[in-house]
């Protein structure tokens, strides 16, 4: 909490590289070394990256976005992140919050953030809106880390995560989030009650004073066709940020009575720009991190990612208040968060004989355990070719993700612990827990967890 106190006292410094150009810019904007990297710092600095329209990219990772912040290794960064589901109840999650209002602004012909996804800007496929296509998450960044180069490993220490309070005075001291049981959920074609099919939004509330550490349901409603400010009708949840007209829905407040959901604030998506494509859908996770959706990636956790582009170009988003393993119905409690992180660069020539030797996947470390992340496809962008960003949604399975998690844990044990393959396989069967991370992100996930006290010192 000392970090959060420092932030509250306003001791950060803001360093922004180049011009703040919305959307994707020329490659030189992202890949040239920013001049700020040449400055000599005597001690780590604390930066602040607020969530507002010019500091986010919506629905994609890209190696071509001009950095919104330039930092040195070991610097601290306060990062504000917004949930892309805030417009499910704008009164509670957008109104009175200048940053959220700038991002979600939408009037006829004008959006605060126009590109929303990896599709065409002229809305030529389905006519849903500019940037239609794959990708939904609001990502704050990217952050350029001086000295980070392909082959290095970036360490991201998560020092604090706090729910973003409602900006509406009517809801002072509270934060809100949305859970969507949606068409992409694992449950969707296996419903037993009428009407079938249906999409249901549940709004949850969290106390931000610190007196309560749980979420409670406020109400739910069935999605009804929503007409956006440009006159496009959305029969399903098919385009990020569509404002829900509450005069068209029926709220049910008699739900989940006396149920308390323990909050586990975490970032569903922390990742860097991949090298394989100029623009990459924010939904499927991969070797570069991204939308892993593991609730363990919260306060006190450390993530390690292989760097594939100069500066890393780190972005954070898809913030959650709580989620279960599998994220079965489609989302977690999607709630805006502010985090404090520290970034450290591990150079390629220094990785031998460490837990990062040969790292080619996202690795999670907590005080007590190591967690490797397996996916249906280790690097779907490379494995599935030119149509990877379409095909990944058709070809994922838990079987494939489990096999990938097994192979990665075998690699971890053999490479970093010096075990033989037979030793590693035996230990995995008796001492490693495999769990389903998520089955809703295109590239499905299985994580493998080993307790540190099992391993030799």
Q: What is the pLDDT of residues 43-93, one digit of tens each?
A: 899 999 999 999 999 999 999 999 999 999 999 999 999 999 999 999 999
Give the C-alpha separation, 200 to 222, whole Å: 4
pLDDT at 23: 39
The mean of the pLDDT values for the chain is: 93
Among all chains, which residue has been given the structure tokens 């504000």?
A: 80
Contact 278, 141 (CB under 8 A): no
Query: What pTM, to 2 d.p., does this model score?
Result: 0.93
CA dihedral 374, 265, 145, 135 (to 10 degrees): 60
C-alpha span between 325 and 294 (Å, rounded): 7
Q: Give the pLDDT confidence score for residue 288 in this predicted structure.
A: 98
Under DSSP, is residue 312 helix (H, G, I), strand (E, B) or coil? coil
φ, ψ of residue 143 to 5 degrees: the values are -110, 125
| H or E stretch covering 408 | helix 398-416
CA distances from 180 to 105, 163, 236, 285, 342 (A): 22, 19, 11, 20, 32
> DSSP 3-state assignment of 274?
coil
- What is the token pair recorded at 340? 């404090």
pLDDT in tens, 330-342: 999 999 999 999 9
CA dist 177 and 261 (Å) reads: 12
**Would you kindly state where each structural domain of the chain is located, as residue ranges?**
1-34+43-351, 374-454
Q: What is the CATH superfamily name and number for domain 374-454?
A: Acetamidase/Formamidase-like domains (3.10.28.20)
The packing angle between helices 421-431 and 398-416, to 10°, is 120
| Residue 392, pLDDT above cutoff 90 | yes
Whole-number pLDDT of residue 20: 33
Provide mean pLDDT across the span 395-404: 98
What pLDDT, on the 0 to 100 scale, is given for residue 101? Answer: 98
Average pLDDT over residues 401-425: 98
Residue 124's pLDDT band, with cuts at 50, 70 and 90, is confident
pLDDT > 70: percent of the chain: 93
Longest dimension (CA), the chain: 64
Report H helices in 43-170.
90-93, 98-104
> Coil, helix or strand for 445?
strand
* Angle subtended at Cα 272 by Cα 270 and Cα 276, rounded to the nearest 5 degrees: 135
pLDDT of residue 24: 43
User: Across residues 8-28, what is the average pLDDT?
Assistant: 36
Name residue 201's beta-bridge partners.
Answer: 180, 221
CB 227 within 8 A of CB 299: no
Q: Do residues 371 and 364 lie in contact, with contact meaning Cβ atoms separated by under 8 Å?
A: yes
- pLDDT digit string, tens, across residues 253-298: 999 999 999 999 999 999 999 999 999 999 999 999 999 999 999 9
Can you tell me the mean pLDDT for 107-131?
Answer: 93
Cα–Cα dist 66/24, whole Å? 8
CATH tag, 1-34+43-351: 2.60.120.580
CB atoms within 10 A of CB 395: 16
């Amino acid at each position: 909490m000392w970090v959060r106190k420092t932030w509250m006292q306003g001791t950060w410094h803001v360093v922004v590289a180049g011009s703040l150009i919305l959307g994707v810019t020329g490659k030189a904007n992202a890949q040239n070394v920013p001049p700020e990297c040449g400055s000599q710092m005597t001690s780590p600095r604390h930066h602040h990256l607020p969530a507002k329209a010019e500091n986010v990219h919506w629905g994609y990772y890209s190696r071509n976005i001009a950095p919104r912040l330039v930092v040195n290794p070991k610097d601290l960064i306060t990062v504000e992140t917004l949930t892309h589901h805030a417009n499910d109840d704008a009164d509670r999650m957008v109104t009175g919050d200048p940053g959220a209002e700038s991002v979600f602004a939408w009037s006829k012909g004008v959006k605060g953030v126009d590109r929303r996804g990896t599709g065409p800007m002229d809305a030529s496929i389905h006519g849903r809106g500019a940037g239609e296509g794959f990708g939904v998450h609001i990502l704050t960044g990217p952050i350029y880390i001086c000295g980070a180069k392909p082959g290095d490993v970036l360490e991201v220490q998560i020092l604090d995560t706090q729910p973003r309070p409602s900006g509406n005075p009517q809801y002072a001291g509270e934060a809100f989030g949305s859970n969507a049981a949606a068409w992409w959920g694992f449950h969707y074609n296996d419903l037993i009650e009428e009407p079938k099919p249906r999409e249901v939004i549940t709004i949850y509330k969290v106390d931000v004073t610190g007196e309560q550490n749980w979420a409670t349901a406020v109400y739910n409603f069935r999605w009804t066709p929503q007409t956006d400010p440009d006159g496009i009708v959305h029969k399903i949840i098919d385009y990020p940020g569509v404002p829900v007209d509450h005069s068209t829905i029926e709220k049910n407040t008699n739900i989940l009575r006396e149920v308390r959901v323990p909050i586990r604030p975490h970032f569903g998506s922390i990742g860097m720009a991949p090298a394989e494509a100029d623009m990459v859908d924010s939904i499927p996770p991969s070797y570069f991190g991204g939308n892993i959706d593991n609730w363990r990636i919260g306060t006190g956790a450390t993530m390690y990612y292989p760097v594939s582009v100069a500066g890393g170009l780190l972005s954070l988003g898809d913030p959650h208040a709580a989620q279960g393993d599998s994220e079965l119905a489609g989302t977690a409690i999607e709630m805006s968060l502010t985090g404090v992180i520290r970034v450290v660069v591990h150079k390629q020539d220094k990785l031998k004989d460490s837990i990062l030797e040969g790292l080619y996947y996202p690795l999670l470390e907590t005080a007590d355990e190591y967690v490797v992340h397996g996916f249906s496809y280790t690097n779907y962008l490379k494995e599935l070719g030119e149509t990877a960003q379409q095909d990944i949604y058709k070809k994922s399975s838990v079987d494939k993700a489990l096999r990938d998690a097994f192979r990665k844990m075998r690699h971890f044990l053999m490479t970093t612990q010096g075990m033989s393959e037979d030793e590693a396989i035996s230990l995995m069967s008796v001492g490693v827990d495999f769990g389903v991370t998520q089955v809703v992100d295109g590239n499905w996930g299985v994580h493998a967890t080993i307790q540190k006290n099992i391993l030799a010192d």
